[in-house]
Amino acid sequence: MKKMFSILMQCKSCRTKNRVPAAHLADVGRCGSCKAPIEPASGPIDADSGSLQPILQEAKVPVFVDFWASWCGPCRVAAPEVEALAKEMAGRALVLKVDTDANPELAELYKIQSIPNFMIFRNGQVFLQRNGLVPRAEMRRWLEQAGAAAK
């Protein structure tokens, strides 16, 4: 039997932590305790070698992945734009961040040669890969090209 991967998301009403399966991170859910709505993931999700593949495979929406490192100046410049992108695309796409220093095996797997490096996945497959700073509008355009519904 296949084990489903999940992320803990806190209910804004009662603060209970709820397990949200990767396949439903872009959906509106319901708190198991108080039954209040749990909004779709609206911030970047920190991914590592244990969580990246399950999320990519189970996501029903395009996934934007930011490969970065704390020492990288351009990565720090891109971070607020990636955060804003996650809020803007909540429910239509997922935004993940992979620290390449903490997860060198993922950097090697995806042939990350320079950072920041952005990848878009659709149905678990690489749709697009670009490196270097770009405006948030460009990031949004990539996600929309990959199938994220336009607002």
What is the SS3 string spanning the chain? CCCCCEEEEECCCCCCEEEEEHHHCCCCEECCCCCCEECCCCCCEECCCCCHHHHHHHCCCCEEEEEECCCCHHHHHHHHHHHHHHHHCCCCCEEEEEECCCCHHHHHHCCCCCCCEEEEEECCEEEEEEECCCCHHHHHHHHHHCCCCCC
pLDDT at 150: 73
Given a cut of 70, whether residue 15 has pLDDT beyond it is: yes
Given a cut of 60, whether residue 69 has pLDDT beyond it is: yes
User: Could you say which of 11, 31, 34, 75 is catalytic?
Assistant: 75
pLDDT at 122: 96
Fold of the 45-145 domain: Glutaredoxin (3.40.30)
> Domain boundaries in the chain?
6-38, 45-145
Name the average pLDDT for the chain: 95
User: Could you say which of 14, 31, 34, 72 is catalytic?
Assistant: 72
- Based on the residue annotation, tell me whether 75 is a catalytic residue of this protein: yes
- Based on the residue annotation, tell me whether 34 is a catalytic residue of this protein: no
Confidence of residue 149 (pLDDT cuts 50, 70, 90): confident
